[in-house]
Amino acid sequence: MAHRTDALFRDDAYLRRADATVVAVNDRGAIILDRSIFYATSGGQLGDTGHIERGDGSRIAIAAAITGETKDEIIHVPAPEQAGPWIGEKVSLAIDWDRRHLLMRMHSACHLLSVVCPFPITGAAVSEDDSRVDFDMPDASFSKEEVTASLMDLVRADHPIFTRLISDEDLAANPGLVKSKNVRPPVGTGSIRLVCIGDNASVDSQPCGGTHVKSTGEVGEIHIGKIEKKGRENRRFRIRFGPMPAN
Ligand SMILES: [Zn+2]
C-alpha cells in the first residue's frame, strides 16, 4: 500500500528541519514518514540527502530520497548498515541544506533558461554543480555568451519567485504554460502547481513540483558552460555557477 507523505517542502522550500513520525520501514530498510522535508528525485531535480535523528540522539544517514509506488510517497533510503527505526517512532529530520540550496538555485536557473530560450523542452537534469536543459530547436543561433548575458539580466533584476495553484481546467485553457514537449503535468488531482517568476508572473509561469529560491537574485552568478548539438533538432545547454571562464 502506498502512503501519502505530507511534502512540507512544497509550501516552504526553506525548511531545513522538521519532526515526523515513522509510518513504515520496508524490507530493504527504506523509511516512510508521515511528513518530510526531503525532496524525492523527480521532475529532473535530484532528491535530498541528510539524516534522521532518533529519540535516543543517534542518527540515520539518508543517502537518497525517491518516490515510491505513487508520486505522493517519499521513500528515505538510508546509507548501508544502519539500524532502522521502529514504526510509530518520533524522529527529527535534517536535510543537507548547502546541497539543497545549490539545487534550488540551479532549478530556478533552468526556469530562467527556458525564458531566454523559448523552445519546447525535451529533457532536463538539475544537479548541484552542473545542470542541463535540452531544447527542441533547429538552429544553434544562440551563443553561450549571449544566453549568459540574458540570464544574468534576469538574475540582476531580482524578480520574485513564488508558487500558485491553478485548476486542471485553467491549465487546459492555457496550453502555452506547458513547456515540456514530452512530459505532461499530472492532471486529475484538481489542481496544478505553477512556479511563477516576476510580479504577477510577468516573466514566467510553468507547472513544476520542484524547490526554488524566492527571487532570481538568489540564483547568483551563473553561466552557460556549453551548448551541445544532440541530434538534428536538439540542443543541450549546460548551466554552471560562477562567471564564465575566460578562454
Ligand atoms: Zn521546474
Distance 143 CA to ligand 1 centre (A): 23
Write out the three cell numbers for 243.
562567471
Reported confidence tier of residue 176, pLDDT bands at 50, 70, 90: confident
Distance 49 CA to ligand 1 centre (A): 19
Output the pLDDT for position 187: 67
Partners of 241 in the β-ladder: 222
Output the pLDDT for position 172: 86
Neighbours of 156 (CB within 10 A): 11
User: Phi then psi for 172, rounded to 5 degrees?
Assistant: -60, -35
Q: Is the pLDDT of residue 218 over 90?
A: yes
Distance 209 CA to ligand 1 centre (A): 7
Reported confidence tier of residue 232, pLDDT bands at 50, 70, 90: confident
Q: For residues 196 and 163, is the Cβ–Cβ distance under 8 A?
A: yes
Distance 178 CA to ligand 1 centre (A): 11
Distance 137 CA to ligand 1 centre (A): 19
Whole-number average pLDDT of the chain: 93
Distance 107 CA to ligand 1 centre (A): 6
Listing DSSP states for 32-67 in one string gives: EESEES---BBTTBPPP-EEEE-TTS-EEEEEEEEE
DSSP 215: B
| pLDDT tens column, 78-97 | 999 888 899 999 999 999 99
Distance 167 CA to ligand 1 centre (A): 18
Interatomic CA distance for residues 203 and 73, integer angstroms: 32
Q: Is the pLDDT of residue 206 over 80?
A: yes
For 7, the 3-state DSSP assignment is strand
Per-residue b or e along 228-243, where b marks 16 or more CB atoms closer than 10 Å to that residue's CB: eeeeeebbbbbbbbee
220 conformational bin, left if phi > 0, alpha if psi -120 to 50, beta if neither: left
Q: Is the pLDDT of residue 193 over 80?
A: yes
The pLDDT of 139-168, averaged and rounded, is: 93
Interatomic CA distance for residues 82 and 51, integer angstroms: 12
Distance 53 CA to ligand 1 centre (A): 30
Task: Return the axis-axis angle of helices 144-156 and 97-116, rounded to nearest 10°.
Answer: 110
Distance 46 CA to ligand 1 centre (A): 12
| pLDDT tens column, 156-173 | 999 999 999 998 888 888
Q: Is the pLDDT of residue 10 over 90?
A: yes
Nearest alpha-carbon partner for 145 in 243, 9, 47: 243
Output the pLDDT for position 140: 64
Place of cell 549546460: 238
| pLDDT tens column, 14-67 | 999 999 999 999 888 999 999 999 999 988 899 999 999 998 999 999 999 999
Interatomic CA distance for residues 33 and 73, integer angstroms: 9
Q: For residues 29 and 52, is the Cβ–Cβ distance under 8 A?
A: no
Interatomic CA distance for residues 37 and 9, integer angstroms: 5
Distance 111 CA to ligand 1 centre (A): 6
